[in-house]
Amino acid sequence: MTAPKKLFIKTYGCQMNVYDSERMAESLGGQGYVATDTPDDADMILLNTCHIREKAAEKIYSELGRMRPFKEANPDLKIGVAGCVAQAEGAEIMARQPMVDLVVGPQSYHRLPELEAKVRDGQKALDTDFPEEDKFEHLVARPKAKRGPTAFLTVQEGCDKFCAFCVVPYTRGAEVSRPAERVMGEALDLVERGVREITLLGQNVNAYHGHARGLSGLIRDLAKVDGLERIRFTTSHPNDMDDDLIAAHGDCDKLMPYLHLPVQSGSDKILKAMNRKHTAESYVRLIERIRGVRPDLLLSGDFIVGFPGETEADFQATLDLVEAVGYGQAYSFKYSPRPGTPAAERAEVDAGEADERLQRLQALLTRQQKAAQDEMVGREVTVLFEKPGRLRGQMVGKSEYLHAVHVTSDKVGRGDLARVRIVESVRNSLAGEVI
């Protein structure tokens, strides 16, 4: 009997890349590959890349350099680059790193079996097309193995917003939504294998139109699935939060009270320069509407500091918005240009000023995040337990607000939902007692 080949995948970036890596592993499973947690003994290494963060391409080239010893030790090892850097760089990756055998974009990875066969035949394989066919229709059926209690499920890809700083429209393509019946079929399969919480994914997930009633219609249908206890979605755009999706936050019990809704800046001048097509005021009013139906909502956001043209007054407007809204979680970054985007042609803010502003913003966001955690002490929450903790007898899970919660108890195991009283707020997590 032929020994299975070993596949090592390193995933960078967002939850959609986590989902894509799972599907790539499943696709190559049909070619005789099994997953390995280390590149040391792999027959194929895949780097599933993200192009959002600063110097993303250079970091991947550095990572490929670290993979060179594995290739030297095993000349039969195949190395591939997938994801958004692969889409953006294409043949340049192979030119700069000849040891790379395979490059595949995020819309073409359903073709991995053919690309792998080409590589095994001694050829190079490059596919960064935006194919007409639906890649999800061509992926292999998901294996029936038992799953953990949470799962990501991509329902929408691409972006038509063309924010001035963002490469996603160029690397992921135009907005495309999966038909609701296919999403429901995959969700039912996940639930049958033990999944109790599903996070719906998309670059602009609330622009989903694969259901007659949009994302809210899909959520309401999923809420009827026995065994599926929790539903989340990310990432959203303020301009696509329609009335029924807002209402769902108040009347759909399985939709969790956590929302990631990026604003990027509190300055209308900067928002216009970013091509965001919303204002600070419209964003604040939107949050008020959502909190009107779900007062306990924990809000998360994204912020870019030092965008070209940002003045101290513009930055102060961002601080004012943060103070007005209040965030339980947030992600903040210093602007870095992406080649090919409109903002990349504009004069940059002084790096020292941008660094100082980022530190001030992060200090404010950290205070808000700590306050949100501290306010949980004494409250009861429902925790979905996912894995053992570092200490003996400890279990770790997530509350409905996405806070990490750990308990020491023999009453709960992986996949259990339990009521927990929060007794302590510690760094980046909460301690609780099972009720």
14 annotated among ligand-binding-site residues: yes
What is the 8-class DSSP label of residue 239?
G
Q: What are all long-range contacts of 415-418, with beta carbons under 8 Å and residues at least 24 apart?
A: 415/148, 415/149, 415/194, 415/196, 415/384, 415/385, 415/386, 416/384, 416/385, 417/196, 417/229, 417/382, 417/383, 417/384, 417/385, 418/382, 418/383, 418/385
Residue 226 burial by Cβ neighbours in a 10 Å radius (0-12, 13-18, 19+)? exposed
Distance of CA 38 to the CA centre of its chain: 23
**Residues 291, 301, 359: CA angle, nearest 5 degrees:** 130
Residues paired with 421 in a beta bridge = 380, 433
Residue 106 and residue 150: Cα distance in Å, rounded? 23
252 annotated among ligand-binding-site residues: no
**Residues 302, 308, 311: CA angle, nearest 5 degrees:** 90
50 annotated among ligand-binding-site residues: yes
Residues paired with 381 in a beta bridge = 420
User: Which of 118, 103, 154, 90 minimizes the C-alpha distance to 31?
Assistant: 118
Q: How crowded is the C-beta side of 262, counted as CA atoms within 13 Å?
A: 20
Residue 136 and residue 186: Cα distance in Å, rounded? 10
Report whether 258 contacts 284 (CB < 8 A). no
Q: How crowded is the C-beta side of 282, counted as CA atoms within 13 Å?
A: 13
Alpha-helical runs (H) found in 142-294: 168-171, 180-192, 214-222, 243-251, 268-274, 280-293
Angstrom distances, CA of residue 305 to CA of 169, 225, 264, 268, 327 = 22, 42, 8, 14, 17
Residue 334 and residue 147: Cα distance in Å, rounded? 37
As annotated, the binding site includes: 14, 50, 84, 159, 163, 166
As annotated, the binding site for [4Fe-4S] cluster includes: 14, 50, 84, 159, 163, 166
